[in-house]
Structure formats: structure tokens, C-alpha cells
């Protein structure tokens, strides 16, 4: 689990006191075709920590997005991270876009699957939807995201700029993979390192999530986040859309 101090964290960039700098939202392609929610399922990879949904996005939709996302002004990570931040070597585009977050939540099976979870306490509170802070990552050959913990962040839902926003916090990270070995991407697996059950016991083996086109992975973050990393890409490109699950604060 994330130690209380001295951890290598991936923080949400601080917003300025005068409010976030608004850039126009991209003209995102329509979010179709997608499969109906009743043909999707939430699979537990590690109880209370990692769940996945295969084919949350169809391969057609993923391919459409990868070609669109290429047109965005992605910025390469500065080589040296700020003190305490994880080394992330990739190209990234970030935007505060509550409308896209709402579409990703409602126009796919995600909202229905989460609402139907047997143990609603799993999500850490009353689920509201996805964080408007949308991050797009492209990892090319040689790029990776070093071991780190993801922070929980306090946010306003649906967003700081809307009139009826409610206080919320993020509890789980969402990673949506758009590429895999099928599209020519090798490496890039997300690997989690569970803590040993006690100090005297050996740590359980790492949990490796192989890339799968359209697979959504959710993992618990904040105080109970597991150490994890995005392995180096050794061939092709890995594309990921990142957001977080938000619950009422």
C-alpha cells in the first residue's frame, strides 16, 4: 500500500488560484460503435484492488480514436521529474473536459456495470462518474512510466467550471487501452506489486495486465494504492486514455 510519506507519487497538476487555464475541447469523434452493457462484464483481477472490462471500447472505436488522438498537441514529458514525482517518459495530452468524461461514463457500458456491482462499497462512496481531468498517453518504443502510486484528489463534480458542482474525490484510476500486440505494440504492460500480507511474509507475485485493445482497467488509488508501473514499450505504440472514478466527498 502507499506509504504515508516519501512515496513516488503521480500528482494531478495543481490548478492556479485564478482557475484552470481553459483550452478548447478537442472535437472528439463519436463514441461508437460500442457493445451493449449487457454483453460486457466486470472481471476481478485482484479482489478490492483491480477490475477489468474487456471490449469496453470496440477495436473499431479504438482505431478511430488512435488516428484522431495523433492530431492532438501531445507534449513529451520533461526528462527530470519534480522531487517526489515518478519518472514518466511518454507523450501526453491533458484536458479538463467534463463533457467527454460524461460520454465515456454513460455512452459505454461503464456506468451500468459499476451501478450493478454487487458490493457498492467497493468504490469508496457514492459513485458520481468520471473525473473531467482526461489524460491521453502515447508511449513509443523505449518509453515507460516508472513505479509509483496514484493519489486520490479532491475535485468538484462535474467540474470546477460548472454551476452545480458538488465536492467529490477520486478513488480508482481508470486506464483504457487502445492498442495491444494485435496492433503492433509490444511491452507496455501495467504491472502491480501487491504488499506482503505481513512483514515476515514474502510479497505475492506481481500482477501483470497485458494490453488488450478496448480493455478498461480500474485500480484502487489513494491510501490503498498498490505500487505499479507501465513497462517499457519495445515495439510500436501504446495509447491509453486515463481518468478516475469520482465519489461524493
Ligand X SMILES: O=C(O)CCC(=O)C(=O)O
- Nearest distance from C-beta of residue 105 to ligand X, angstroms: 18
In the complex, the residues that contact Fe ion under the rule CB under 5 A are: 150
CB closer to ligand X, 10 vs 52: 10
- Nearest distance from C-beta of residue 160 to Fe ion, angstroms: 23
**Phi, psi of 123, rounded to the nearest 5 degrees:** -85, -5
In contact, 129 and 100? CB cutoff 8 Å: no
Residues numbered 171 to 190 that lie near ligand X (CB under 6 A) are 173, 175, 190
- Measured from each CB, the residue nearest to ligand X is 230
| Residue 230 binds which entry of Fe ion, ligand X, none, CB below 5-8 Å type-dependent | ligand X
| Residue 138 binds which entry of Fe ion, ligand X, none, CB below 5-8 Å type-dependent | none
143 binds ligand X (CB under 6 A): no
- Nearest distance from C-beta of residue 225 to Fe ion, angstroms: 8
**Pick from 65, 100, 105, 145: which binds ligand X (CB under 6 A)?**
145
| Residue 240 binds which entry of Fe ion, ligand X, none, CB below 5-8 Å type-dependent | ligand X
150 binds ligand X (CB under 6 A): yes
Alpha carbon 228 to its chain's center: 12
Whole-angstrom Cα distance, residue 24 to residue 21? 10
**Phi, psi of 231, rounded to the nearest 5 degrees:** -65, 160
Whole-angstrom Cα distance, residue 249 to residue 247? 6
Q: What DSSP string describes 194-249? A: PPPSSTTSPPPPPEEE---TT-EEEEE-GGGPPEEEEPPEEES-EEEEEEEEEEE-
CB closer to ligand X, 105 vs 144: 144
Determine which helix (DSSP H) or strand (DSSP E) holds 50, and give its type and residue range: strand 50-53
Number of H helices, E strands in the chain: 3, 18
- Nearest distance from C-beta of residue 27 to ligand X, angstroms: 24
Q: Which residues contact 126 (CB under 8 A, 6 or more apart)?
A: 247, 248
CB closer to Fe ion, 55 vs 170: 170
**Pick from 89, 230, 233, 243: which binds ligand X (CB under 6 A)?**
230
Residues near ligand X, by CB under 6 A: 10, 137, 145, 150, 173, 175, 190, 228, 230, 240, 242
Amino acid at each position: 500500500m502507499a506509504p504515508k510519506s516519501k512515496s513516488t507519487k503521480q500528482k494531478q497538476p495543481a490548478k492556479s488560484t485564478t482557475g484552470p487555464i481553459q483550452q478548447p475541447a478537442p472535437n472528439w469523434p463519436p463514441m461508437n460503435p460500442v457493445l451493449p452493457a449487457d454483453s460486457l462484464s466486470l472481471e476481478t483481477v485482484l479482489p478490492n484492488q483491480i477490475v477489468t472490462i474487456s471490449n469496453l471500447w470496440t477495436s473499431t472505436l479504438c482505431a478511430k480514436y488512435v488516428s484522431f488522438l495523433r492530431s492532438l498537441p501531445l507534449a513529451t514529458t520533461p526528462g527530470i521529474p519534480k522531487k517526489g514525482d515518478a519518472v514518466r517518459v511518454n507523450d501526453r495530452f491533458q484536458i479538463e473536459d467534463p463533457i467527454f468524461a460524461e460520454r465515456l461514463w454513460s455512452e459505454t457500458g461503464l456506468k451500468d456495470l459499476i451501478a450493478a456491482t454487487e458490493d457498492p462499497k467497493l468504490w469508496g462512496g457514492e459513485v458520481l462518474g468520471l473525473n473531467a481531468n482526461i489524460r491521453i498517453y502515447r508511449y513509443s518504443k523505449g518509453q515507460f512510466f516508472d513505479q509509483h502510486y496514484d493519489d486520490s484528489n479532491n475535485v468538484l463534480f462535474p467540474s470546477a467550471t460548472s454551476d452545480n458542482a458538488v465536492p467529490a474525490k477520486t478513488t480508482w484510476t481508470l486506464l483504457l487501452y487502445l492498442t495491444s500486440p494485435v496492433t503492433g505494440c509490444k511491452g507496455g504492460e501495467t504491472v502491480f506489486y501487491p504488499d506482503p500480507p505481513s512483514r515476515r511474509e514474502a510479497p505475492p507475485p506481481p500482477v501483470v495486465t497485458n494490453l488488450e485493445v478496448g480493455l478498461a482497467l480500474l485500480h484502487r488509488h489513494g491510501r490503498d494504492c498498490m505500487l505499479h508501473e507501465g513497462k517499457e514499450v519495445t515495439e510500436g505504440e501504446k495509447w491509453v486514455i486515463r481518468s478516475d472514478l469520482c465519489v461524493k466527498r
